[in-house]
Each structure stands twice: as structure tokens, then as C-alpha cells.
Amino acid sequence: MSSSPAGAVVPVTEDAAREAEEHKQRANQYIKEKKFALAVENYDLAIGVNPNNHVYYGNRALAHIRLENYGSAIVDADKCIELNPGYVKAYYRRADANLALNKIKLALLDFRRASKYAPKDPDLRRKLQQCEKAVKVMQFEKALATPQEEVVPAYSKVVLEDMVVEEGFTGSRMAKDAEGKDVVTLDFVLSMIEDFKAGRKLHRRYAYSIILGALEIFKELPNVVRVDVPKGSKFTVCGDVHGQFFDLLNIFELNGMVSEENPYLFNGDFVDRGSWSAEVIFTLFALKCLYPRSLHLARGNHESKNMNKIYGFEGEIQAKYTQQMADVFREVFCWLPLGHIINEKAFVVHGGLFASDDVTIPDLQSFDRNREPPDEGYMCEMLWSDPQEPLGRAPSKRGVAIQFGPDVTKAFLERNNLDLVIRSHEVKDEGYTVEHDGFLVTVFSAPNYCDHMGNKGAFITFSGEDFKMNFTKFSAVEHPDIKPMAYANNYLFGG
């Protein structure tokens, strides 16, 4: 007999073993159908009946990876290896989970361990080589790193005057003000969108004008921005869009374009995974320049250097524009606000709530957000935390920040005289969920996420009159045949 997860020997009858195999077969079928949450549920049942089978943990780790529950995947891989140290897939999956968390050195150790058991596996050898290369690059960059106090921002090196728009340029052109400065107009935005739909790029001068214009606005904002929705007006909150440009346009088709009369808040994770992240971010930044008080943008966990390196945004900007522009975007993302409060009622944040009970809005306004997200603390939790059904708090299934229960949500709202938490950060089958006795809403606006999850997207509209929520669900629309992750780091997503 093998040991149970608690370390004790668990006798398993033949009937129980057969029942566990039936649960596993159903779970495996759900994996094939890309219904990963249902797969996890059935692996849970299999493990509940027979906790001694290492394969169940290894398979559940794969399902957790597909759900981006990297912390849970690592726990399952650990258990699988405890039960069977020679099971190659467990090392492989733990490495993939650590790669997703940008823990490249830990991933490299597991790829090396796996290669001892399967030295001829071509995919494993490729990932091992690419991971070794990535570690060498990290070490080289660390050796060359400039002390923080001497760093010159990349955006300060951009000289628009040196970027001449050629007479023969046929793409969208910005208007100019009386001083000759580029100006974003609605006509330009609409023309730019048509160019993007046709696969055309911005001129780099206009691209930088948009980025730097948005940066000026973000720098003037606090960590948590207060938004007032007047009576008789509506306000729309959208969740993750993740580079799904054509689904973003569908939101505007369904709900109207951003305007002074039709304000929006996009609650983080504009980029990565989808292969039109450049088009999404230029559209949102241009609209921010055009309507600075009517379009609100919050930082998500994917507006960060580590995520952009792994999940495609950096590679996409390098491919479509330049590395310098990718560096500028990285700096601008550090200035994005971290949260919003709507009508002194709703706290809107990408991830969720906190590891301590005494957090107030003034606390969240008090730190410097102009940095890459830390591994712990308020900023990390705002970007990464998730809700859970049980009371209290628990380690995150993602491996970053925490999970928080309904009692934590209610206590935070009472402490800060608020009524509701709205967050994003998680795929939902219907595009949204209402949890924690109605005090917490999750909204996710990327339908058929990564072209395979089959979920709806959703957005929320509020009335300034009574602040009543209305949910609109929508399906994915057709897009050109470019796969998700087309620009992602291929040591994680290349096979």
C-alpha cells in the first residue's frame, strides 16, 4: 500500500479502486473536452476514493495548469512525486507551473530531473535547453543591471520630433494642435481601429504619442481612483480582455463606444495570451487620451514585466514594433491605478482583498505603486487574490497572494463604508458570478478565452440613479486565424 495525503496507509478495496478509475476516466474525457473545472472535480472524487494512485494527482495537476491554478498544480505534482518519484509527467508539470509563475530556476531543476528518467524525449529536451538559455539570460541581465537610482526611464529617451511621418504613409494620421503637437481625435481612433482590423500598424510616432499621452494622465492619478456616476447616467465595468481585440470591438458594438455620455472602466489584464494585445492596448490608451474622465483603466496582474515576458505581450510588441516600445509600455503599466471606487459604494480591483483585517482605503493610497508588483503585500493582493467559499483565508491556488472568504469581504466593506466588491481575474462560464452573499461580483470579458475555454464574456452596467447592476453576456466573435499565444515564450507554450 502507498500512503495517503495525510501520510497514513489507506486500504483500498477492489470495488473502490474500480470506482476511482471510473471517476478518472470521466475526468480524462473532460480534459479532452477542455472542461478543466469538471476534470478537477472528478479527479477530486477519484482521489477521495483512492488516495494512493499517483496518476490522479499528476492528471489533476494538468487540469489546474489549464485553469491557471499554478499553486494547486505544484501541490499535486509534489504529491505525485512523493508517491512515485519516477513519474516523469509530475516533474514536467511542476516545471510548467513554476515557469508560469516565472520561477525559472525551479523549473529548470525539474526539467533536469525529468530528463534523467526520459533522456530521449524531444519536447522535454527542447524545453530543458530553452529553460537553460533563459536562466543564462537572467544571470547576464543581473550582472549588467544598473543601480536603481541610476536608471533612466525608457520613455524619457523617446524623441517624437525625430520620428518623421513619411509623405507616402497611408495609415491613420493624427491631427495637430496649434503648437504642432499630435492630438487624439475620435476620427483618428475610429480610423485606427479600421486599420487594426485590416492588419495594419500604427506609425511609430503616433504609437508613442498615444503611450506618452496616457502616461501623463496616469501619473496624476492616485492608487485608488474615485469615480462619480451622476443620476440619469450609466456606467460600464468590463473585466479581462486579454488581447482579444475583436471581442473588445464587440463590447463597443453591443454597448456603445466610449464617450463622455458612455463611460467605462476596464478592470485590468488588457494584454497577454490573445494575439492582438497591441491593438487592444493602443485602442484603450487612445480612448484614455481622448476621454480621460470617461475611460478608466486599472492594472491587472498581467500588466507586469514577468507576465509580459511569458505570455506574449513583450514578444508581440517586439514583433510589431520594437524592444524600446516594449520597455516603455512596461514603465507605463507601473503607473496604472490599482483600484477604483464608484459612487462611494463599489470597490473595484482586479484581483481581490487582503491578508490582514485592518486595511483601509487610505492605506491603499499611501504606497508608491510605480514599480513591478512585489511578491506580497497590498499591491500583490490587489492584483492576484481570489475569493473562496469557506470563511477566513487560505493560500492561493495560483501560488501568489491569498484566497479570502465571505467574512473577509463583509468586514472589508464595513470597515470602509462600502457596499460591494467588484473584481475580475478569473474565467467564468457565464462571464460573471455573484458570490459572498451578494457582496462580491466577478466579471470576465474575454469570451471563449484563449479560443478553447468555451466561456461567455460579460460586462456590468450601473445606473447612477439607483446603482442597480445589469449583466450583459456575450459570445466570442470571429477573428483572423492567428492563434492565442502566437508571441508567447515558446519554452512554456511551444509544445
Q: pTM of the full predicted structure? A: 0.91
Is the separation of the CB atoms in 70 and 63 below 8 Å?
A: no
- Which pLDDT does position 4 carry in this prediction? 44
Q: Where along the chain do the CATH 1.25.40.10 domains lie?
A: 14-144
DSSP H helical segments within 177-258, as ranges?
A: 186-197, 204-219, 245-255
Q: Dihedral of the CA atoms 381, 385, 388, 394 (nearest 10)?
A: -60
- Quick: pLDDT tens for 237-281: 999 999 999 999 999 999 999 999 999 999 999 999 999 999 999
From the list 337, 336, 385, 384, the residue with the least C-alpha distance to 365 is 337
Q: Is the pLDDT of residue 412 over 80?
A: yes
Choice among 14-18, 178-182, 383-387, 433-437 with the minimum mean pLDDT: 178-182
- Quick: pLDDT tens for 109-166: 999 998 888 888 888 888 888 888 878 877 777 776 667 667 789 999 999 999 999 9
- Which pLDDT does position 129 carry in this prediction? 84
Quick check: is 340 catalytic? Answer: no
Q: Look at residue 478 and give its three-state secondary structure.
A: coil
- Which pLDDT does position 3 carry in this prediction? 43
Across the range 88-99, mean pLDDT stands at 92
Band (pLDDT 50/70/90 cuts) for residue 8 is: low
36 against 494, higher pLDDT: 36
346-349 and 339-342 beta bridge pairing? antiparallel
- Which pLDDT does position 123 carry in this prediction? 82
- Which pLDDT does position 384 carry in this prediction? 97
Q: In the CATH scheme, what is the code of domain 195-201+212-493?
A: 3.60.21.10
Question: DSSP string of 341-372?
Answer: EETTTEEEESS---SSS---HHHHHSS---SP
- Quick: pLDDT tens for 317-327: 999 999 999 99
- DSSP category for residue 438: G
Q: Where along the chain do the CATH 3.60.21.10 domains lie?
A: 195-201+212-493
Mean predicted lDDT score pLDDT of the chain: 93
Q: Is the pLDDT of residue 7 over 60?
A: no
Q: Is the pLDDT of residue 75 over 70?
A: yes
Q: How far is 336 from 352, CA to CA, in rounded Å?
A: 17
Above pLDDT 70, what percent of the chain?
Answer: 96
Superfamily of domain 14-144, CATH level 4: Tetratricopeptide repeat domain (1.25.40.10)
Active-site residue (options: 302, 340, 350, 425): 302
Query: Which residues have CB under 8 Å from 40's CB, separation 6+?
Result: 27, 60, 63, 64, 67
